[in-house]
Structures are given as C-alpha cells and as structure tokens.
Amino acid sequence: MMNNRQLFLNHVGQTSEAPLALEMIRAEGAKLFDADGKEYIDLIGGISVCNVGHRHPKVIAAIKKQLDDYLHIMVYGELVQSPQVQYAKLLTQQLPASLNSVFFTASGSEATEGAMKLSKRFTGRTQIISFKNSYHGSTQGALSIMGDEYWRNAFRPLLPDIMQLRYNSFEDLENITERTACVIAETVQAEAGVITPLNNWLKALREKCTATGTLLVLDEIQCGFGRNGSLWAFEQFDVIPDILLLGKALGGGMPLGAFVADKKMMDALSHDPVLGHINTFGGHPVCCAAGLAAFEVLLEEKLIDAVKAKEQLFMSLLQHPKIKAVRSCGLMISVEFEDFETNKKIIDALITQGVFTDWFLFASNCLRIVPPLVISEEEITTACNKITAILS
Ligand code: PMP
C-alpha cells in the first residue's frame, strides 16, 4: 500500500524533481501542522495568498453560509450572484474612481490573459511590453511576457509582438510608442527577489503610457491586499493603472483572480465579438464569499497598520555576516545569500526546525518571507532567531 507521499509522487502531476512533499493536515493563523503533529511558522502564506491568516473564522463562516445557498450555478457573466456583486462593490469602493469594473477569473494567470486581450481589443494595437524578471503567470499569453528566457524557451512559438524592457530603466521607456497596446508591470517585482520601483520611475512609466495612448497594466496579484504596507502597492508610488490585476489574496484562500478597469473600457469585451472573454468558474460564489469576508477582515482588523512595524522587526533581526542583502517592501522580504546551494541548505534546515519558507523563481539565492499579515511579533522573533542560529 502506498502512503500519501508515494501517491503524491506517483499519481499527482509534478512541477519539479524536488517537491517539498510534506503533508500538512491543518493550518491556522500563521501556523501549519504536518501529519506527524509537527508545527511550522509559515513565512510564505501559500505564496502571498493567506494575508488574513489561515482559516480566519469569518472567512470560514462566509464559506459555510454560501454552501447552504448555492455552489456553481452558471458560467461567469450571466447571472446576478450576491457574493460576486457585493465583492465587486466593496473592491471598487476601495479603488480609485477609474477602476470601477471587476472582471472575475479563476486565477491570476487568467487575469493577465484577460488584461492582454482587453488592451488589444480596446486600443486596436498589437504590441505588448513587459519587464525583465517579471512574472505574470504560466499560461501561454502570460508566459509570452514572462521576464526570463530560460522559463519560456522550451514552449516557443509564443505570442508575437512582445517586447521586454529593463525594470527601473528610464532610458528603456523610450521604446513605448503609439504601437504599444499596453505595458504590464508588477508594481513591486516579487519573483525577481523583491525589487521596488526607483523614485519616480513608475510615474515616468505612467506619463509615457499616457502620452502614447498606451494602457498601463499593474500586476498586484502578489503585492496587493496590504502586502507592501498599503492596501494597493501603487498608492505608495503615486500612480493609477488603467487596468489592475488581482489574484492570490483576492480569494481569501480560495481560487480567484480579477482584472479591474473603467467600465467604458471593460465593455469592449462584450461586443465585436460578443463574449470576447469568457470562463466557467471566474467569480465562483464560494470563492467570492470567502474573498469578500477576507477583504472585510483586512479592513476591519486594520491588519495593514501593523505591516511596517513587522517589516522593521524582521529587518532588525535579520542581521548576520552571511546575509548579503535584505530587500523589503512591507511584508514582502527577500534575504539574499551567496548562491542557491547556501539558500537551499538554510531553507531545508529551517523546515526541519519548524519554519516554512522557500526561494524566489528568478532569485534562487534569496529566501522568501511573505507571511500572513497576522504573524505575531513572537513568531517573527522565533523564525528570525532560527535563521541566524542556522547561519552561525
Ligand atoms: N502575477 C504575479 C505577480 C504572481 O506572483 C502570480 C503567481 N505567482 C501570477 C501573476 C499568476 O497567478 P496564478 O498562479 O494564480 O495563475
């Protein structure tokens, strides 16, 4: 008889030759519990998903309530579903006036795909520009704009008319022209190992887009929902995108993505052709009920107010000669080591000692810290002490 780990390795499609392959059986707040009863401090929150903590009681209650009413009843976009419209209302209340129409999808990648299509349809242009070391998803459109050749090359041919610029390069912005449908950027680059935009660079990007009639798409799938210390990361850089991409924490632990734009723009997807972008599960009622409850918790419990202090605590404790650099933007933190081998050894030792973390896609020498925002000072101190003890 195979145990669950063997079944996982043999019968579940694998994404790498070295998955973590631990079996967690429960999660609560910023803690995970494995099948042997071992407890872990969760430093990655399902990769920036569980911002209000695992299994927040209000999220669980909202899910249970929705289960008593209905699950999937119809494809996205036809029926009025209360959790979906209530969530769209609250999201748009918390966004600038021009971001007033929410198109729900089932994942972040699909939000990227939808925004790429909307940009082409609305502008009538074909070129799409993205940035080196950016990640916007793994589907073929999103892969076409991924900022690293190594991850794309085996899957060519990909979308034509894609151009890649250097993030934070003022000079490269000159490549944005009247031919460009949209520029897609992460407000804060996550998988690059937490790269924050230079002073005024996002503003210069915004200005160039406006001057050329190009749409600015900001991907806040990983950095939205308080992660960087403000509800939306773009607030800190004084820009407003034409289209905003959301995912991960959007669903409060359930699968949900969205792209948000002005209704006048969004309506382009409803004609010529009709049904310009459709999907079955986008805005699933249970996911929207969970996401709405999580968003209310984020606002009501003022979780974002404590982000900067928690970031400072991490920064003050993460000091060791073997740490080459620590980059942070709120509770999105990258701890840089000499190379991947060093980082991997530290990550493995941390997991053995009950601290759960991993590395970044385009920065494999950097340890990832994107915990649930509810992580306590005590949990932060314990985790950081373990990191520095291992290094010594
Ligand atoms: N954009 C960013 C910035 C992301 O971090 C991710 C997921 N890691 C995506 C898009 C894609 O989201 P999903 O995995 O839900 O398709």
Residue range 19-52+302-391 in CATH 3.40.50.360: no
Q: State the span(s) of the chain assigned CATH 3.90.1150.10.
A: 19-52+302-391
191 CA to centre of ligand 1 in angstroms = 10
Residue 137 alpha carbon, nearest atom of ligand 1: 11
| Per-residue model confidence (pLDDT) at position 5 | 95
By most ligand atoms within 8 Å of CB, the mutation choice from 221, 227, 329 for ligand 1 is 221
Q: Which residues line ligand 1 (CB under 6 A)?
A: 47, 107-109, 112, 135-137, 186, 190, 219, 221-222, 247, 257
For the stretch 41-83, pLDDT in tens is 999 999 999 999 999 999 999 999 999 999 999 999 999 999 9
Mean pLDDT of 278-304: 98
- Is 0.95 surpassed by the pTM of this model? yes
Of all protein residues, the one whose alpha carbon is nearest to atom 11 of ligand 1 is 137
Q: Kindly indicate the confidence band of residue 145, based on its pLDDT and cuts at 50, 70 and 90.
A: very high
Cβ of 45: how many Cβ atoms within 10 Å? Answer: 28
112 CA to centre of ligand 1 in angstroms = 9
Distance between CA 110 and CA 273 in Å, rounded? 19
277 CA to centre of ligand 1 in angstroms = 19
Q: Kindly indicate the confidence band of residue 21, based on its pLDDT and cuts at 50, 70 and 90.
A: very high
Residue type, 370: V
Mean pLDDT of 26-36: 97
99 CA to centre of ligand 1 in angstroms = 20
Q: State the span(s) of the chain assigned CATH 3.40.640.10.
A: 57-300
For the stretch 80-137, pLDDT in tens is 999 999 999 999 999 999 999 999 999 999 999 999 999 999 999 999 999 999 999 9
Mean pLDDT of the chain: 97
CB 131 within 8 A of CB 189: yes
CB 229 within 8 A of CB 261: no
Q: Kindly indicate the confidence band of residue 332, based on its pLDDT and cuts at 50, 70 and 90.
A: very high
CATH top class, domain 57-300 = alpha beta
| Per-residue model confidence (pLDDT) at position 273 | 97
Mean pLDDT of 231-244: 98
Of all protein residues, the one whose alpha carbon is nearest to atom 12 of ligand 1 is 108
How do 180-186 and 215-219 pair as beta strands? parallel
Structure tokens at 119: 């940009």
Distance between CA 295 and CA 360 in Å, rounded? 26
71 CA to centre of ligand 1 in angstroms = 25
| Per-residue model confidence (pLDDT) at position 127 | 98
